[in-house]
Amino acid sequence: MITTFQQHIQEQQQGISEASGTFSYLLAGITLATKMIQAKIRLAAIDNIYGAIGQTNVQGEQQQKLDVYANEALLHCLGLKDCVAALVSEEDEEPVTFNRSSDPDKATGKYIIVFDPLDGSSNIDVNVNVGTIFSILKRLPRGDIQGSVLRPGHTQVAAGYVVYGPSTVLVYTVGNGVHSFTLDHTIGAYVLAEENMKMPEQGSYYSTNEANAATWPAAYREYLELLRSGGLGREYSSRYIGSLVADFHRTLLKGGIFLYPPTSKQPKGKLRLLYEANPLAFLAEQAGGSAIGADGRILDIVPEGIHQRTPFMFGSQREMAALAEVLGR
């Protein structure tokens, strides 16, 4: 018999005394939104919703029509749930908050969801994989929203992503391993594909935007040379999609390393800490890999702003250990 995502969550929650069903109710909002998004993406060319809307988002990036749709789908599917205190999106400058009680004894206003509604959206028009990334935080008892959001990534209660590729795949963790599900269109449900996924200890791909290499700090160039010259005992090949979710998914399955170091244009890194690096770092660690930023573990960074950027490197144990050595950590 199949196991659906909802059933899996319920099984994981069994035995947790405070589990009230609220969490699985919350995740149902995320899965519904991602089903809406994947349906829209599949028909984008026919419905003429490719392309930019002629506006930039808070990051100063061109918003695509599908970025706007994906954001609205998540706001709609999650905003009506009374367990949600706030929604923090890449597309919105400020958190969207709901005036809900934060009484720790009640289920209302208990969770904050941070998300990148459509990651890699500059790839949409050419039919390359894109994804949705989410991170779930508990609101601090009687805490303000900002203070509850600006906490290190190791406080996340769950994280995951959906990759919209040849099939629609959901990967998540609640801190108890990494599990993946494939959307079965015939029944409209995410069905368990693999439990307790583990990243290979070493891979044979590195993934980075090499066009930036000339402006990286020297140690990263040295590291790349180490990989290229066979210094880790393997021949490496490069794979870079430019959709973080897709590059992460490949690294999770095949191992290797992804690097987005500081560049002269983006000295503080390009990728966003709260809704890109933190959730993916949580998944990487749960799968036996690791993830670092400018000064160490991503999940230990205390965020200063909701749209903060960070250098971001993650991958298999062997490649990450060699990187730490080259960086002198």
Chain positions contacting ligand AFP, by CB under 6 A:
61, 119-123, 209, 242-244, 247, 270-271
Shorter beta-carbon distance to ligand AFP: residue 173 or 243? 243
Q: Measured between alpha carbons, how far apart are the two ends of the chain, in Å?
A: 48
Backbone angles phi, psi at 64, to 5 degrees: -90, 155
Cα–Cα nearest to 165, from 175, 177, 187, 180: 180
| Helices and strands, number each (H, E), in the chain | 8, 17
Residue closer to ligand AFP by CB (options 44, 244) is 244
Assign residue 328 a region: left if phi > 0, alpha if psi is -120 to 50, beta otherwise? left
133 vs 136, which CB is nearer to ligand AFP? 133
How does strand 179-184 pair with strand 96-97?
unpaired
Angle formed by the axes of helices 65-79 and 22-42, nearest 10°: 160
Of the two residues 70 and 149, which places its CB atom closer to ligand AFP in the complex? 70
Q: How far apart are CA 315 and CA 302, in angstroms?
A: 22
CA nearest to 161, candidates 318, 33, 317: 33
Output the smallest distance, CB 48 to ligand AFP, in A: 20
**Taking the complex as a whole, how short is the minimal distance between the CB of residue 124 and ligand AFP, in angstroms?**
8
CA angle 68-272-77, nearest 5°?
Answer: 40
Q: Alpha-carbon distance 25 to 40, whole Å?
A: 23
Whichever of 100 and 272 has its CB closer to ligand AFP, that residue is 272
| 10 or 122: CB nearest ligand AFP | 122
> Which residue, chain included where needed, has tokens 């002629």?
54
52 vs 157, beta carbon nearer ligand AFP:
52
CB of 300 vs ligand AFP, minimal distance in Å:
22
Q: Residue 100 — φ and ψ, nearest 5°?
A: -115, 145
Are 261 and 313 a contacting pair, CB within 8 Å? yes
The distance of closest approach from Cβ of residue 195 to ligand AFP in the complex, given in angstroms and rounded to an integer, is 27
CA distances to 164, 214, 279, 303, 304 from 245, in Å = 9, 25, 11, 21, 24
Minimal distance, residue 244 CB to ligand AFP, in Å: 3
At closest approach, how far in Å is the CB of 250 from ligand AFP? 12
Torsion angle, alpha carbons of 243, 249, 253, 258, to 10: 50
| Least distance CB 272 / ligand AFP (angstroms) | 7
Least distance in angstroms from the C-beta of 298 to ligand AFP: 15
Question: Based on CB atoms, which residue is closest to ligand AFP, 247 or 285?
Answer: 247
